[in-house]
């Protein structure tokens, strides 16, 4: 039954995501796109809080979770151990607002697929997830209302990870993720030209860029949980991602195009490839900045929990030599998350909703992007439900998030977003010899 649920869920997300961008944010124009993966649905429903680790969910932001002491490491009938796996997707709606205009956009995407396998005091995990997403269509006009440029971009960076965790002592575990990052970013810009009478010329110039990205990175994690007394527990977590590099293989072509004024269709008349080798831009290195996060919380096991987490990222060191702008700079990013959950009665047999996990949280983030001397910040409030399914500690997780990013100051755009997330956190027994088929 669980395997059928996974297949149906993956098929649904794939169909909904087909032919759509991973994001519709105009801020994905900068760097290597907007950050796509911000944790599992359970994390995001608690404001992005990722320090809490339990028996039925995979924590993809802290590899120490692969070996935490919980139900997933307890043999069932002395024969087998449950393996945890999860899949998630999301739908995002944006209301884009400038000082003079407004517009709407939306996207539906696959977010992650992962498996965690307990092996004694060790635990192993592997998964696939989009890291960043690029998806924008922008135009610039002058004071007379004349169209100057048209920008379009798509693509993003994905990650395949393989991790291992080890239970050092009761309540204390460590772990490491090895990540292979890969993907491509494609963008184009059309520069519109006018004659002396202000009439747009038939032939326009278009620049197409493509960057194929690849590289390795690592994430280190530690988790500590201890009982304060017979009723309550203290939980803390720590992760560190060292600085790493991406190799970017770049191509650029310059084309002359004719635009159909009635349909907007583009017809290419001729093109040539720009000599990036001579400019030293054929192959470039992008620095993925180091990241540090830590947090702590307090609660009653299987009843309630509340915690806080802080993340800082050395984004000021990011530089993309192929795309640069005098109006854009990068500053160190940070994020503060507050959140928790509540379970009325986890072992209730009389009421289904008493076993539901109710989650809530909020976050404030400095994205690290600074445009026209304005820092691009984000604030969001989130809610979620963990709905029990099946008979082996599995559940469906629903998340809902509202917030805003950016500002309308200095000709910038403010995004008001509404995100809906859905995931399945499933537990099944592998390597189990069945007595009956």
Domain-embedded: residue 249: no
Q: What count of other Cβ atoms lies within 10 Å of the Cβ of residue 259?
A: 19
Domain-embedded: residue 434: no
Per-residue pLDDT band at 263 (split at 50, 70, 90): low
Domain-embedded: residue 316: yes
Q: Three-state secondary structure along 99-142?
A: CCCEEEEEEEEEEEEEEEEEECCEEEEEEEEEEEEEEEEEEEEC
Question: Is 385 or 30 the better-scoring residue by pLDDT?
Answer: 385
Domain-embedded: residue 193: no
Domain-embedded: residue 280: no
Identify the three-state secondary structure at position 407.
coil
Domain-embedded: residue 257: no
Q: What is the rounded distance in angstroms from the CA atom of residue 225 to the CA atom of residue 20?
A: 41
Phi and psi torsions of 316, nearest 5°: -65, -15
Q: What is the rounded distance in angstroms from the CA atom of residue 241 to the CA atom of residue 239?
A: 7
Per-residue pLDDT band at 193 (split at 50, 70, 90): confident
Q: What is the rounded distance in angstroms from the CA atom of residue 100 to the CA atom of residue 105?
A: 17
Identify the pLDDT of residue 299.
96
The H or E element that residue 44 is part of is helix 41-45
pLDDT digits (tens, 9 = 90+) for 172-188: 999 999 999 999 999 99
Burial code of 392-405, b = ≥16 C-beta within 10 A, e = fewer? ebbbbbbbbbebeb
For the domain that residue 332 is a member of, what is the CATH number?
A: 2.40.160
Domain-embedded: residue 194: no
Least confident of 45-59, 254-268, 295-309, 359-373: 254-268
Identify the pLDDT of residue 262.
64
Q: Taking the alpha carbons of 159, 164, 168, 172 in that order, is the dihedral positive or negative?
A: positive
Provide the domain limits for residue 38: 2-138+150-184+215-242+301-429
pLDDT digits (tens, 9 = 90+) for 309-344: 999 999 988 877 776 665 788 999 999 999 999 999
Q: What integer best gives the mean pLDDT of the chain?
A: 85
pLDDT digits (tens, 9 = 90+) for 130-160: 999 998 888 887 777 777 888 899 999 999 9
Dihedral angle, C-alpha 92, 98, 103, 105, nearest 10 °: -20
Q: What is the rounded distance in angstroms from the CA atom of residue 153 to the CA atom of residue 138?
A: 9
Q: How many domains does the chain have?
A: 1
The H or E element that residue 210 is part of is strand 203-227
pLDDT digits (tens, 9 = 90+) for 28-47: 888 888 888 889 999 999 99
Q: What is the rounded distance in angstroms from the CA atom of residue 309 to the CA atom of residue 48?
A: 8
Domain-embedded: residue 18: yes
């Amino acid at each position: 039954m669980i395997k059928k649920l996974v297949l149906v869920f993956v098929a649904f997300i794939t169909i909904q995501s087909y032919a759509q961008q991973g994001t519709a944010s105009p801020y994905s124009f900068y760097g290597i796109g907007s950050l796509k993966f911000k944790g599992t649905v359970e994390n995001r429903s608690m404001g992005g809080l990722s320090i809490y680790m339990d028996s039925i969910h995979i924590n993809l932001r802290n590899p120490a979770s692969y070996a935490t002491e919980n139900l997933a490491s307890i043999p069932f009938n002395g024969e087998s151990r449950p393996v945890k796996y999860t899949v998630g997707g999301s739908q995002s709606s944006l209301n884009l607002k400038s000082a003079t205009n407004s517009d709407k956009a939306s996207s539906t995407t696959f977010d992650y697929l992962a498996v965690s396998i307990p092996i004694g005091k060790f635990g192993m995990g592997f998964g696939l997830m989009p890291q960043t997403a690029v998806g924008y269509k922008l135009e610039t006009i002058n004071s007379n209302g004349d169209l100057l440029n048209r920008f379009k971009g798509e693509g993003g960076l994905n990650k395949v990870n393989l991790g291992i965790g080890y239970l050092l002592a009761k309540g204390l575990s460590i772990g490491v993720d090895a990540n292979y990052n890969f993907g491509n970013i494609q963008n184009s810009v059309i520069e519109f030209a006018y004659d002396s009478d202000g009439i747009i010329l038939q032939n326009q110039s278009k620049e197409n860029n493509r960057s194929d990205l690849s590289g390795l990175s690592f994430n280190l994690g530690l988790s500590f949980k201890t009982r304060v007394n017979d009723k309550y527990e203290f939980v803390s977590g720590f992760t560190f991602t060292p600085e790493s590099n991406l190799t970017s293989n770049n191509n650029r072509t310059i084309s002359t195009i004719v635009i159909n004024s009635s349909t907007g269709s583009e017809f290419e008349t001729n093109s040539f490839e720009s000599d990036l080798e001579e400019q030293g831009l054929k192959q470039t290195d992008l620095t993925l900045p180091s990241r540090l996060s830590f947090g702590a919380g307090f609660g009653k096991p299987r009843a309630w929990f509340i915690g806080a987490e802080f993340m800082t990222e050395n984004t000021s060191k990011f530089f993309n030599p192929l795309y640069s702008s005098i109006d854009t700079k990068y500053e160190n990013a940070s994020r503060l998350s507050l959140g928790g959950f509540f379970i009325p009665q986890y072992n209730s047999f009389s009421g289904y909703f008493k076993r539901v996990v109710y989650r809530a949280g909020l976050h404030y983030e400095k994205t690290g992007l600074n445009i026209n001397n304005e820092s691009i910040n984000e604030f969001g409030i989130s809610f979620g439900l963990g709905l029990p399914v099946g008979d082996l500690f599995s559940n469906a997780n629903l998340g809902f998030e509202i917030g805003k990013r950016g500002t309308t100051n200095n000709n910038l755009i403010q995004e008001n977003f509404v995100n809906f997330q859905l995931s399945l956190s499933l537990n099944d027994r592998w390597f189990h010899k069945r007595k009956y088929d």
